[in-house]
Copies of this chain bind each other. A is one copy, B any other.
Amino acid sequence: MIREFFLGFIKIHTLYHASKGGICGIEIIKELKRHGYAVSPGTLYPTLHALERDGYLKSRMLVIHGKRRRYYKATKKGISVLKKSRERLRELVEEVME
């Protein structure tokens, strides 16, 4: 049940970090794991691709410690969507929080 929300939070979370210095797939997976949530690569990477395809993220390959990592930064569109999503989210949550 809470899983459905969580899947949405992956996107907001990603946008949030991508709006502050950039983030890559493996970092997201590890960070979410610290918070107690598991997300598989088969879920995450297609999600990142979709966010980029839709113009919310822009990526480039970097080599860190000899490993290729695709780092994502939020676009203007991405930042604007992040803001709006947070507002709507707050409304929806207050609705069910009594």
Q: Are A93 and B93 in contact (CB under 8 A)?
A: yes
Cα–Cα, bound, A97→B9 (Å) = 11
A98, chain B: closest CB distance, angstroms:
8
Bound-state CA distance A5–B8 (Å) is: 6
The yes or no answer to A88 lying at the interface (CB within 8 A) is yes
Complex interface: chain B residues within 8 A of A35 (CB): 95
Q: In the assembled complex, how far is the CB of residue A96 from the closest CB belonging to chain B, in whole angstroms?
A: 5
A residues adjacent to B (C-beta < 8 A): 1-2, 4-9, 11-13, 16, 35, 81, 84-86, 88-90, 92-93, 95-98
Known: A1-B85, A9-B92, A13-B95. 13 other contacts (CB 8 A): A2-B8, A2-B84, A2-B85, A2-B88, A4-B11, A6-B92, A8-B8, A9-B96, A12-B96, A13-B96, A35-B95, A89-B96, A93-B93
